[in-house]
Amino acid sequence: MADQNSLIAHLIELRSRVLKAVSSVFVVFLCLVYFAQDLYHWLATPLLEALPDNAQMIATDVASSFFAPFKLTIVLSFFIAIPVVLYQVWGFIAPGLYKNEKRLVAPLLLSSTLLFYAGMAFAYYVVFPLMFAFFTSVVPEGVVNNTDITSYLDFVLKLFFAFGLSFEIPVAIVLMCWTGMTTPAALRAKRPYVVVGVFVLGMLLTPPDIISQTLLAVPMWILFEFGLIVGGIYTKDKNNKNEEEEIQE
């Protein structure tokens, strides 16, 4: 009976946390929906600046001029509310963690959020201008590059997710070292395979041009090396603590 009551209490708390997370996204959405058209124009700026004078974006569906900015606002609301969502996740799992686990998980949640934002910012401010300048420069003669607004939105959202997730490599490395799946030394030994792997991922996650592929692969490689440094520091601290506990015993 006690176990059943405990399970019900956890489910009630989970529902409360989920409602708070969804509410935070909804509140941000209400604040942004009035500016939906402006937000889409901001998102389209890298392409609009790269288009020639005689080209512009178009809406091929009747309702796409409404739904494209609306969809962007929903996705952007979730991105902005991620800190609140992760805080609710932390509030739910924290009571079940040990003290040393709490010291690791809290910084990881914060760093994973910042790294995801950094990946999106890198895509928007660095990758998009170079990539769209390349695409518009290779348009065949006699062809006008009029991009559909819905297709453009789907395209850039995929890149946002790709760059945001790829910037989570240091967090993934620290977690693997923490759980004992691998060690920094073992990952260093696999560095040649990792270099090849990041370029393959860059090829799969980005459009088929060398610029965007390289702009994704190189940061992933740098973040891998940074993850090795952080993972090595954590592994040393963990080993030192284990040795101190053994001495005390």
State which of 26-40, 90-104, 194-208 shows the largest mean pLDDT. 26-40
Q: Which pLDDT score is estimated for 144?
A: 74
H helices present in the chain, as ranges: 2-32, 36-50, 64-80, 82-93, 99-122, 128-137, 149-166, 169-179, 184-189, 191-205, 210-248
pLDDT digits (tens, 9 = 90+) for 48-81: 888 877 778 888 888 888 889 999 999 999 999 9
Q: Torsions phi, psi of 143, nearest 5?
A: -110, 130
**Of 52-56, 161-165, 185-189, 239-243, where does mean pLDDT reach its minimum?**
239-243
Global confidence as pTM = 0.80
Reading the block at residue 3, the tokens are 């176990």
Task: Judge whether 111 and 21 are in contact, CB under 8 Å.
Answer: no
Look at residue 130 in the predicted model and tell me its pLDDT.
83
What are the two backbone dihedrals, phi and then psi, of residue 148, each rounded to the nearest 5 degrees?
A: -75, 140
DSSP string, 103-171: HHHHHHHHHHHHHHHHHHHHIIIIIHHHHHHHHHHTPPTT-----BHHHHHHHHHHHHHHHHHHTTHHH
Q: Give the whole-angstrom CA distance, residue 223 versus residue 228.
A: 9
Q: Is the pLDDT assigned to residue 120 strictly greater than 80?
A: yes
CA 108 from centre of chain: 14
CB-CB contact of 136 with 56 (8 Å) = no
Return the structure tokens found at 172.
Answer: 């993934």
